[in-house]
Amino acid sequence: MFLVLKRIRKKLIDEKHLSKYLAYATGEIILVVLGILIALQISNINQNSKDQVSLEAYLTSISTNIQSDLQELKMLSNKRVSMYTRIDYLLDIIFTSESYTWQDLLIFSETTSNLMNLEFLLVNRSGFDSLKNSGFLNKLQGTDIEQLLYQYYNLVDDIQFREEVYNDTIKEVKRNFDNANFEDLIFFQRPSYIAKDKFSTYQQSFSTILNHQSNLQLYNHAMAKSPYLNMLYDNLEIIGNQLVRLIKSKSTAFDKTTIKELSKVYDINSEIGYPKVFTNGGLNNLFFVMGYSQSNSNDNWRIYNNYKIGEFEMHFPKAEWGVTYFTNRSQAFADKVAKDYSSYKTLQIVAKSSEKSGLAFIVIKDIYDPDDGSETRVPILLTDEWQTFNLPLEAFKTADLTRLHMVAGFLLLKDAQTIYIKNIEYK
């Protein structure tokens, strides 16, 4: 081919067709340049394809890490919820009971032991660290998934810092507990060692242990700090699940589902109301407080509220009316705190009754609703089996959801009844 081109070139020059030669030479140069550009383009396509495969491999590794993180997170969250939601019940026993049952001691022993265990959220960062070190993270620059990756690992850092602060206090409490040299501590820690006919002889020792400052500090610290940590755990779970979902779909941009799920990430500084009022029978006392009222002011007719493990128990006496209610926690400069619940659609309640058939009314109120019983009452028919009630918020006609103060109330009329609650949550 080159011999043919040389002959043509020589012929053109010999025939003094310079203009034709120049045109031919220009075309030849253009062909060569085009060939080079095409070759470079093919090379770039091949390299980009290889880079994409490598990037997807790093992201898959991150997805695997996050799925492992979420399993660890779930176990840690469940354990914290199980512990802090029983503390009100246990403190009530400590302060009001003159003696402790065998079952009480088993629960106290387990709770004290578990709360003194120093636990951290263990996160596998190997995939994310490898991605950063590889330089491939730049290929995600400006994308939604890059933002979400940093949001996930920044939240991990925040959680681990707070856990460290939490555990520093637990270490101090444990030292004080151990240094107290309690008599019969072994029987408190191992109730199975006690012969049941000898159990009553250890009552004073158990009372000393349970009322000791270190034990009370342990319980109060867990009750005060755990709800905030669990809120952060919930946020991390939402973000982690959406990262896994995006990576599996090989997408770097949020779709409608991702946007909807990420809207559930809770910002404690926002005006949005926290959705989880009760979890596992425990009131989330970081956000809510409880109150009660009844038509008869006689103490014999007041409403009794007792915590049990995994459920909340409300005893309503026979009266014209009685109500147990849960409101947003008051602040120094506001007697009634309003929160915006308008983004939620449903109030979900898991409850049962002491009766085979018991009628109760659910009420919610905004900060302007008068305390005269004029609020909307939504009836629920309870049985002695656990039921899940999904109440549409639009049914509460009198409540302004943007200014909600009482997030849930149980109203009973005339008949006595005991109601048990597991969960109350806005959906």
- Is the pLDDT at 278 greater than 60, yes or no? yes
| Confidence at residue 247, expressed as pLDDT on a 0 to 100 scale | 94
Give me the pLDDT at residue 300, please.
53
Q: Are 223 and 83 in contact (CB under 8 A)?
A: no
- Domain end point (choices 262, 286, 311): 262
* Continuous segment of H or E residues that includes residue 29: helix 18-84
- CA–CA gap between residue 230 and residue 85 (Å, rounded): 12
Helix 2-14 to helix 18-84 angle, to the nearest 10 degrees?
140
Same domain, 163 and 63: yes
Band (pLDDT 50/70/90 cuts) for residue 304 is low
> Are residues 210 and 158 part of one domain?
yes
**Domain total of the chain:** 2
CA 268 – CA 232 distance, rounded (Å): 10
Any bridge partners for residue 323, and if so which?
293, 411
Asked whether residue 254 falls in the same domain as residue 324, the answer is no
Q: How confident is the model at residue 169 (pLDDT cuts 50, 70, 90)?
A: very high
pLDDT at 396: 97
Answer yes or no: is 3 within a domain.
Answer: no
Per cent of the chain over pLDDT 90 is 58
Residue 43 inside a domain? The answer is no
Q: Does one domain contain both 227 and 105?
A: yes
What is this structure's pTM? 0.82
Average pLDDT, the chain: 87
Could you say which of 227, 262, 297 is where a domain stops? 262
Are 180 and 292 found together in one domain?
no
pLDDT of 18 strictly over 90: no
Query: Do residue 221 and residue 150 come from a single domain?
Result: yes
* Cross-strand bridge partners of residue 272: 340
Averaged pLDDT, 25-41: 70
Q: What is the pLDDT of residue 205?
A: 93
Q: How does pLDDT run across 96-109, given as a tens digit for each residue?
A: 888 898 888 999 99
DSSP 210-242: HTSHHHHHHHHHHHHHHHHHHHHHHHHHHHHHH
Q: How far apart are CA 359 and CA 373, in angstroms?
A: 17
Q: State whether 70 and 139 are in the same domain.
A: yes
Q: What pLDDT is stored for residue 195 in this prediction?
A: 85
Q: Which span out of 157-166, 186-195, 308-317 was modeled with the highest average pLDDT? A: 157-166
The span from the CA of 181 to the CA of 176, in Å, is 9
* Confidence at residue 296, expressed as pLDDT on a 0 to 100 scale: 73
Q: Given this model, what pLDDT does residue 307 score?
A: 62
* pLDDT of res. 38: 74
| pLDDT attached to residue 102 | 87
Residue 262 Cα to chain centre, angstroms: 12
pLDDT average, residue stretch 220-238:
94
Instruction: Check residues 26 and 204 and name the one with the higher pLDDT.
Output: 204
Reported as a single tens digit per residue, the pLDDT across 58-88 is 899 999 999 999 999 999 998 888 888 888 8
Q: How does DSSP assign 324-340, residue by residue? A: EEEEEPPBTTBSS--BB
Same domain, 335 and 394: yes
Question: What count of other Cβ atoms lies within 10 Å of the Cβ of residue 133?
Answer: 10
| Nearby residues of 151 by Cβ (< 8 Å), 6 or more positions away | 239
Note whether 302 and 201 are same-domain residues: no
Mean pLDDT of 238-249: 96
The number of residues in the chain equals 427
Position 70 in a domain:
yes
Determine the structural domain holding residue 163 and report its residue range.
50-262
| Same domain? 122 vs 206 | yes
* Closest by CA position to 111, among listed 83, 75, 78: 83
- Non-local (6+) Cβ contacts of 12 within 8 A are 18, 20, 21, 24
The H-or-E segment that residue 9 falls in is helix 2-14
Most confident of the ranges 117-121, 293-297, 390-394: 390-394
Q: What is the mean pLDDT of residues 297-326?
A: 76
Domain-embedded: residue 45: no
* pLDDT band (50, 70, 90) for residue 320: confident
- For the residues 161-173, what does the mean pLDDT come to? 94
Q: What's the gap between Cα 343 and its chain centre?
A: 18
Residue 150 CB: number of other CB atoms within 10 A? 12
Q: What pLDDT, on a 0 to 100 scale, did the predictor assign at position 365?
A: 96
Q: What is the pLDDT of residue 244?
A: 96
Of 166, 306, 289, 268, residue with least CA distance to 226: 166
Same domain, 349 and 234: no
Per-residue pLDDT band at 25 (split at 50, 70, 90): low
Q: Looking at the domain assignment, is residue 29 inside a domain?
A: no
Q: Which of 97-106, 288-297, 316-325, 391-400 has the lowest mean pLDDT?
A: 288-297
pLDDT at 164: 94
pLDDT at 29 over 90: no
Averaged over 342-370, what is the pLDDT? 95
Q: Is residue 24 part of a domain?
A: no
In whole angstroms, how far apart are CA 389 and each of 363, 381, 422? 14, 9, 12
Q: 267: which strand partners?
A: none
In a domain, 16, yes or no: no
Phi, psi of 294 (to 5 degrees): -155, 165
Whether the per-residue pLDDT at 355 is higher than 60: the answer is yes
Mean pLDDT to the nearest integer, 384-402: 97
Predicted confidence at residue 43, as pLDDT, reads 57
pLDDT for residue 242: 97
Does the pLDDT value for residue 414 go beyond 90?
A: no
Residue 18 lies in a domain: no
Angle at 270 between CA 267 and CA 271, to 5 degrees: 135
If asked whether residues 194 and 88 sit together in one domain, one would say yes
Name the residue with higher pLDDT: 26 or 89: 89
Last residue within a domain, chosen from 240, 262, 284: 262
CA dihedral 100, 81, 310, 390 (to 10 degrees): 160
